[in-house]
Structure 1
Amino acid sequence: MQILSRPYGALHYRLDGPEGTPVVLMANSLGTDLRLWDAVLPLLPRGLRYLRYDKQGHGLSDLGQADRIADHAADAEALIEAVATGPVVMVGLSIGGLIAQHLAAGRPDLVRALVLSNTAARLGTPDSWQARIDAVEQRGMASIADAVMERWFAAPFRATPALALWRNMLARTPAAGYVAACRALAEADHRQATAALRLPAMVIAGDADGASPADLVRATADLIPGATFHLIPGAGHLPCVETPAAHAALMTPFLERHAR
């Protein structure tokens, strides 16, 4: 296990791939840890280094305040400066996509290209996130798990035994870390900053995504000049879990073109 020391404590990360090669930084969704990418990683191009990490208050990482996207972007910035030898391609899913947009806008010298998966420049509303926070604070993480599984996955995946593992991952996420990330999402509106981005970008949606519907994701792609939009049939909110071959097939040519 690899740890980056941050002012609030430990940030857990993992780095796979040959030394001295370009880095792809992968930022996870709300309620997941770096294992989110396990199925898709072996399908991505070789000759690159893949840097994954647990957001604050998730997985094995400590929690600072982390109630702004800027707090999470500061962790990503520190990881790049500590581990990478140059600018990275950043792959962000859900809240990870907002972290990626924030970092690309604030530190364009560190991000050469973006893959934004199942995300948007604005996700949900302050009221919807407050309702989620209230449910977790009053009844615990398990109380939201079944509803979140319906938003994350299409019906065929929900019928498989693998669903239990993802439900457990969500339910065992520390409530304080989850709530802090919800507060960050509630105040995050990156539409103006994302519209000012000028870098290669690929945007991916799933047509069965109940958390970030395809039209919302497409609208974010439309903000970035030259961005391409791709829709994965049968995929929910986590295509790297549910349809890893299709997710990798989209990312591979983009990474081969822009990561080196």
Structure 2
Amino acid sequence: MTEFDTSSQDAATLETAPTRYIEGGGIRFAYRRLGPSTGTVLVLLQHFSGNIDAWDPAVVNVLATDRPVIAFDNAGVGRSTGQTPDNIAAMARHAVAFIKLLGLSEVDLLGFSLGGCVAQQIAAEHGRLVRKLILVGTAPRGGEEHLLTVLQDAFSQTDAPDVRLPLFFTKSSASQSAGQAFLKRAKVRKEDRDTDNGSAVTDPQAKALITWCATPDPEHAILRAIRQPALVVSGSHDTMLPADNAYAMFKALSNAQLVLYPDSGHGALFQYHELFVSHVRTFLEA
């Protein structure tokens, strides 16, 4: 449990919450916090290339109705200063530093894609800091990734209004419709939007993700070091980090549940936002 000075935090949404800053170790971290002032804080760890405003308000705001939620930019991302590392271990160290700067002694983690790799590293190394973790659309160390191939294919689809449509959703009309609804929600905020720092973020992040998956871990040392309860979530047709990764993590983790969503890609949590939030809440409250 934790408490912080919240000044109208309860009513804030991802679209309206002020962007706050906290500094330590030479890095000024940007973040937004929502929800009640008490309870175990849920910290969100973002996907490759994403910043605070790349989260889905339909996920973040509903989760924040009954628990404190913090979305933040790790080092070098968005409005946070510092340099984006090219390895998962350093990203995890920065995230832990941020959590400790906030004075939090125990948190839940929700890591999506690249953020899920970071969440695994943190949970394995900081057993007392992490109560529970949710791993979405991610991969274990030594897992399967097709990042560059999928990115190349997505950017070649010049008729797509946003690259996230081919990246995060399947080609079915239902999935594409859900993707368009997600993009509309993600663009609601007009004032004080987070910034995109381009290749200064994506180049080292791509190296970190590809290296993580290219590093053999036949004994699943990272996963076996994680003793906390975990919820593993994937889309059935995730082309970037395939669902086989989710099943591998589920088998190697000591206390995991597995959820696979049908006809969905990397952005399954946005396509099935109501179902996803329901599953997360059930898991965190158990």
Distance change (3 Å), C-alpha of 1:86 and 1:194: same
Query: Is contact 1:124-1:186 (8 Å) kept?
Result: no
- Deviation of 1:194 after TM superposition, in Å, equals 1.2
Tell me the TM-score normalized by structure 2.
Answer: 0.75
Query: Is contact 2:29-2:98 (8 Å) kept?
Result: no
Match of 1:179 among 199, 203, 221: 203
Please state whether the residue corresponding to 1:42 is helix, strand or coil: helix
Distance change (3 Å), C-alpha of 1:192 and 1:173: same
Q: Which residue of 1 aligns with 2:277?
A: 248
- Deviation of 1:245 after TM superposition, in Å, equals 0.6
User: What is the correspondence of 1:132-171 to structure 2 with a 5 Å cutoff?
Assistant: 149-155=165-171, 156=173, 157-158=175-176, 161-162=180-181
Tell me the TM-score normalized by structure 1.
Answer: 0.82
Distance change (3 Å), C-alpha of 1:69 and 1:86: same
Distance change (3 Å), C-alpha of 1:97 and 1:7: same
Match of 1:47 among 60, 66, 71: 66
User: What is the correspondence of 1:112-123 to structure 2 with a 5 Å cutoff?
Assistant: 112-122=131-141, 123=143
Percent identical pairs in the alignment equals 25
Please state whether the residue corresponding to 2:131 is helix, strand or coil: strand
Alpha-carbon separation, structure 2, partners of 1:210 and 1:59:
26
CA RMSD of aligned residues (A): 3.1
Q: Which residue of 2 aligns with 1:91?
A: 110
- Deviation of 1:144 after TM superposition, in Å, equals 8.9
Match of 1:229 among 236, 239, 258: 258
Match of 2:96 among 77, 90, 97: 77
Unaligned runs of 5+ in 1: 136-140
Tell me whether 14-23 or 37-46 shows the greater mean CA deviation. 37-46
Q: Which residue of 2 aligns with 1:193?
A: 222
Alpha-carbon separation, structure 2, partners of 1:242 and 1:60:
27
- Deviation of 1:256 after TM superposition, in Å, equals 1.5
Query: Is contact 1:240-1:247 (8 Å) kept?
Result: yes
Per-residue Cα deviation, 1:33-88 (whole angstroms, up to 9, x for no partner): 22314221233263311011123343222341411111211222122212253311
Q: Which residue of 2 aligns with 1:104?
A: 123
Q: Which residue of 1 aligns with 2:240?
A: 211
- Deviation of 1:152 after TM superposition, in Å, equals 1.6
Alpha-carbon separation, structure 2, partners of 1:104 and 1:90:
9
Alpha-carbon separation, structure 2, partners of 1:44 and 1:20:
14
Query: Is contact 1:93-1:118 (8 Å) kept?
Result: yes
Alpha-carbon separation, structure 1, partners of 2:166 and 2:157:
10
Alpha-carbon separation, structure 1, partners of 2:76 and 2:269:
22
Please state whether the residue corresponding to 2:83 is helix, strand or coil: coil
Tell me whether 7-16 or 71-80 shows the greater mean CA deviation. 7-16
Is the aligned partner of 1:17 residue 2:24? Answer: no
- Deviation of 1:130 after TM superposition, in Å, equals 7.2
- One-letter identity of the residue aligned with 1:15: R
- Deviation of 1:255 after TM superposition, in Å, equals 1.4
Unaligned runs of 5+ in 2: 1-18, 188-192
Tell me whether 8-17 or 22-31 shows the greater mean CA deviation. 8-17
Alpha-carbon separation, structure 2, partners of 1:183 and 1:234:
29
